[in-house]
Each structure stands twice: as C-alpha cells, then as structure tokens.
Amino acid sequence: MRELLIPFATGLTIFLFGLQLIRLGLETMAGRHLQSVLLRFTKTPFRSFVTGIVATGFLQSSSAVTVLTIGFVNAGLMNFTQTVGLILGTNIGTTVTTEILALKIEDFALPMIISGAVIWLLPWKRFTWIGVVIGGFGCIFLGMNVMQWLAVPLKEQGWMTWLLSRGDAVQTGLTAGFFMTAIIQSSSATIAMAMGFFASGLISLPFAVAVVLGSNVGTCITGLLAVIGANRAAKQVAVAHLLLNVGGVLLFAPFISPFADWVASLSAHPATQVAHAQTLFNIICSLIMLPFTDVYARFITRLIPSRDI
C-alpha cells in the first residue's frame, strides 16, 4: 500500500501546489483588472462566452472563475442570465491546462522550476511573479510525472484489473472521474492521472475519456459548496453549471468508444489524445448550447423557485 500512497500523495501535492503558484502569480499580475473584465464584458451571451474562455485560460481554473462569478451574482453586481455564456466559456478555457499537460513533461519540469526560482530571486521585482508562474508550471509537470509512478504498483498488485472487472469500463471511468475530482477539487489533476495511466498502458482510451467526462461533473461540486447560504441567483448559477455538465456527459456517454477512436486518429501521443478528448468534448457541448443561452436561463429560473432552495 505504501508503494501507492507515497507517489500519489507526493505527486498530487506537487501538482496542486503548482496550480496554486500559477493562480497566485497570474492573479497578482492581473490585480483588479480581471474582476473589472468579468463585470464589463458579460453584457451579451457571446461576450460572456469569450470572456469565460479567456478568464479561465488565464487563471487555469474553471472552478475559480465559477466561484468568482457566484460571488458577483450574490453581491448583485451581475445577473444570472449574464453568467450562462460565461459558464460555457469556462468549460472551454479549462482545456488550456490539459493541452499544456499533454506536452512532454519530463523535458520541462526541472528546467522550469529552476528558471522560475532564478527569476524570483532577481532584483527586478516586476518579473517576480512571472517566475512564480513559470515555477508553477514546472511543479505541475513534475507532479504529473511522479503520479505516473503509480502505474507500476497498480499493475503489479492487480488493483486496476480488479477495478475494471467491477462493471462496464465507461461507467467505472465516469464514476472514478467524478469522485476523484470531487474529493481533490481539481479536474486537471484527475485528467493528469488519466493521461499518465493511459500512457503507461494501465487503462484504455475509452476508460480515460470516461474519466475526463466524469471529472467535468465532479468539478461542479466546488460551485455547489460555494453557494451554501447564498441568494437564489447565486444558486441558479451553480445549478446551471451542474446541469450543463451533466447534460453534456449524458449526451456523449453512449458514444464514448467511437469518440475515443476519433481522438486516437488525431494524434499518436497518448497524453495528447486524452487532452484532445476533453477539448473536443467541451467545445462541442458549449457550441451546441451557446445559441440557447437565453432559453436555458429561463429554464433554470423556472426550475429554481422564488424562495431559497
């Protein structure tokens, strides 16, 4: 058991620490500009959509943008209808992290950590936070590399064979992706593990794709926790986010195997295939829903009663 827990805990800690460094560095450099952009460029569904993509790609976290949006709605600075396009955009923006993770991590981890530390120590303070961001990316690459060490003991001890024998691979992958993301509060970390396991031959591509889809639902838990005690409009945002992601998974779940065959034809690199699966899934689902944002907003408004839920 120690062979599993040590690399898992170590790799996950380094990975999440790297994400926090990136977020801290970028948020510090952006200052108050990010909040003003979110409030200013969400007047129409399309502008909200584009803003969600840019903001999430910048912060490297769809959950952070969602929680920030919930705070604005709860404070009365933004109405619920404005947020639907924003939510669709965050689903696409979060794929930036995954596509970056698909790079060859062993070539970038330590050089980026060292470069980030050197930049941090330079006397020119304007570059300090750039060093933090670079070091953060190095940490997520290193953490992902460490988590790949899990593949050997999992294979040797038969844990994955036991898990995959419990039922349908797609259902198991969806469940694993959901619970893993809900527990660690990071879909990027969950997908990083799926990338590593698939690259090691521990799981199949359809199973990895199912984990990706499950993680999309699991990431909604952060928003649901953020609206505890909030007003009705804020709760509408969290429920809208949840139902959009659940709907996308239900739409794609019956077609995971042919979808996996399609993404496999786009790249020969295993990690890139998993990254492309998430990117295509989120782009397709978001573009399907974008023309119906107003209709969807009215549906959520009727679904959530006037009184607090």
**pLDDT reported for residue 122:** 81
Give 4-55 pLDDT, tens digit per residue.
677 778 877 887 888 788 777 766 766 556 667 666 777 788 888 888 888 8
In single-letter form, the type of residue at position 81 comes to T
Asked if residue 305 has pLDDT above 80, the reply is: no
What lies within 8 Å, CB to CB, of 178 at 6+ separation is: 214, 215, 217, 218
3-state secondary structure at position 266 = coil
**pLDDT reported for residue 206:** 92
- DSSP-derived secondary structure for 166-218: TS-HHHHHHHHHHHHHHHHT-HHHHHHHHHHHHHTTSS-HHHHHHHHHHHHHH
Distance CA 212, CA 228 (A): 27
**pLDDT reported for residue 138:** 85
Distance CA 271, CA 193 (A): 10
Distance CA 21, CA 25 (A): 6
* Average pLDDT value for residue range 101-126: 79
**pLDDT reported for residue 309:** 43
Asked if residue 277 has pLDDT above 90, the reply is: yes
- DSSP-derived secondary structure for 24-49: HHHHHHHTTHHHHHHHHS-SSHHHHH
Name the residue with higher pLDDT: 140 or 286.
286
**pLDDT reported for residue 1:** 63
pLDDT above 70 coverage of the chain, percent: 85
**pLDDT reported for residue 279:** 93
Among the ranges 65-79, 103-117, 158-172, 209-223, which has the highest mean pLDDT value? 209-223
Asked if residue 139 has pLDDT above 70, the reply is: yes
Residue 242 pLDDT class (50, 70, 90 cuts):
very high
When mean pLDDT is compared across 25-39, 49-63, 209-223, 256-270, the lowest value belongs to 25-39
In single-letter form, the type of residue at position 200 comes to S
DSSP state of 94: T
Give 123-133 pLDDT, tens digit per residue.
777 778 888 88
Name the residue with higher pLDDT: 186 or 39.
186
When mean pLDDT is compared across 114-118, 194-198, 228-232, the lowest value belongs to 228-232
Asked if residue 121 has pLDDT above 60, the reply is: yes
Distance CA 42, CA 37 (A): 8
* Average pLDDT value for residue range 210-226: 88
Give 47-99 pLDDT, tens digit per residue.
888 888 888 877 767 777 777 788 778 777 777 887 888 889 988 988 887 88
* Average pLDDT value for residue range 174-185: 85
**pLDDT reported for residue 224:** 85
* Average pLDDT value for residue range 280-289: 93
3-state helix, strand, coil in the chain (%, to 5): 85, 0, 15
Compute φ and ψ for 227, nearest 5 degrees. Answer: -100, 5
Residue 165 pLDDT class (50, 70, 90 cuts):
low
**pLDDT reported for residue 283:** 93
